[in-house]
Amino acid sequence: MNTENTTGRPENAAGQTEDAAAQLDATTIASDATTIAPDATTIAPDATTIAPDATTIALDATAIAPDTTDIVTDTISAAEDIQAGHEKTETTPYLPILTIAIVAIAAAVVFNLDAQDDEDASASLPQPAKPITIAQPESPDPSMETLLQELGPKSPPEDAPPKPEPKILPHIKFDEINKEALAFSETAEKYYRQGDCANALAWHRKALGNFETALGHLTKQLPLFEEKLGPDHDTTAKTRNNIAQMQSIVASTNSNIGEAHRCQKQYTQAMKWFRQALTVQESTKDVNTATTYNNIALVYDDQRNYARALEWLRKDLAISEAAQNIGTATTYNNIGMVRFHQGEVADALEWYRKALAIQEKSLGAEAPDTAITHGNIGEAYRTQGDYANALPELLNAYRTLVSQYGENNKNTRAVRGNLARAYDKTDNTGPFAEWLAESLSQ
């Protein structure tokens, strides 16, 4: 919800989103030791069991066939023996045949050596990397299944240990995603308060992406818990509750995105995101619906449709007052702003004072939202011509805002301008800058 300055500067309330997200108990999001999916070590066998050792795939060349060189040598020796022992017989006609055999064997030696060289050269080339994929289980061959049934035991032995229950793998990345999203939201809030709505929008969008991813993890996990643990199990119930909380956070982030569009005067886009947020919030009666009502009211106030703005603020107030939270002060302040724009300054002051009483008690006197309300009160006094009361209120606001946001913040500049105009209406004759510096030093 946004606290609006009478100068037209809102302050984001993404803190409600952060508070809701902080309530998510990481230990309830991911289950305990009882997990649904099998342990990673049981998903795929050890790499050593997937394929035999490379040394068993191909035998050493010397094991495939005897040394060819020995064959040639032995054959030549045998031929010489035959010729020596039977040189007086009719063995001479067989010599050409032996010669041919020797030549053939020698050729085989050369061929085998060349082939081995080719294989060695090929193995030394870099092979293209292939992605590792987990194959889907296939249906067993019917004949093999029948054979296994015939060979295997018909029923487990009586003394066999009980089969362990399948484990439920926790969503180990859920906490990371959620924490990162919260950090994105905090960054968006800082940019928003500095008046940098474009950067606020970018960081809110990044936060939304993470929150939606986290919600997707929970949504996928719930049916597994319901199946394996039962619908009434504590883990199942907590997961269901966390889904509801995350849906609320996503809706609130949608509303924050809409507000970032609004502060850039992108009203069509703003209303689109507000309606998207309300789709979830109104259906679940989410207390953060009040924030979206407030943001829609600010769109109408920017467009000077004050009647519609008050209509949405009254819807906001019905929720805020029932919840009795700090959002009520924001609503009071913004009603006062709209009444101020309608020219009902005295009525605006009453709403501002109601907001200030809550803020000083809940947030403290030095909080930026408290300072903005002081600034609104000071501007109301200035408009009425009550400069004696306007100056301390505006100075109070400026002191806090310049310390929190610096001189270049839009809120700081607006309050400084109102303060200078109020000072010019007083009897002070010194330069405003000197008076301001002296007043801040006190």
Q: Residues with Cβ < 8 Å from 168, sequence gap 6 or more?
A: 31, 34, 35, 36, 37, 224, 225, 228, 229
- Nearest Cα to 21, choosing from 240, 244, 322? 244
pLDDT tens, 145-204? 443 344 344 455 555 555 444 344 445 567 788 889 999 999 999 999 888 999 999 999
CA angle 412/414/416 to nearest 5° reads: 70
Q: How far apart are CA 261 and CA 265, in angstroms?
A: 6
Provide the percentage of residues in the chain whose pLDDT is more than 90: 48
Q: What domains are defined for the chain?
A: 3-34+169-362 (1.25.40.10)
Confidence (pTM): 0.63
What confidence category does residue 323 fall into, taking pLDDT thresholds of 50, 70 and 90?
confident
Find the mean pLDDT for residues 353-374: 95
Residue 242 confidence (pLDDT) above 50: yes
Instruction: Give me the pLDDT at residue 401, please.
Output: 95
What confidence category does residue 311 fall into, taking pLDDT thresholds of 50, 70 and 90?
very high
Instruction: Give me the pLDDT at residue 217, please.
Output: 84
Q: Residues with Cβ < 8 Å from 69, sequence gap 6 or more?
A: 109
The CA R_g of the chain, rounded to the nearest whole Å, is 41
Instruction: Give me the pLDDT at residue 188, please.
Output: 94
Find the mean pLDDT for residues 300-308: 97
Q: How far apart are CA 419 and CA 364, in angstroms?
A: 22
Residue 234 confidence (pLDDT) above 60: yes
Residue 55 confidence (pLDDT) above 70: no
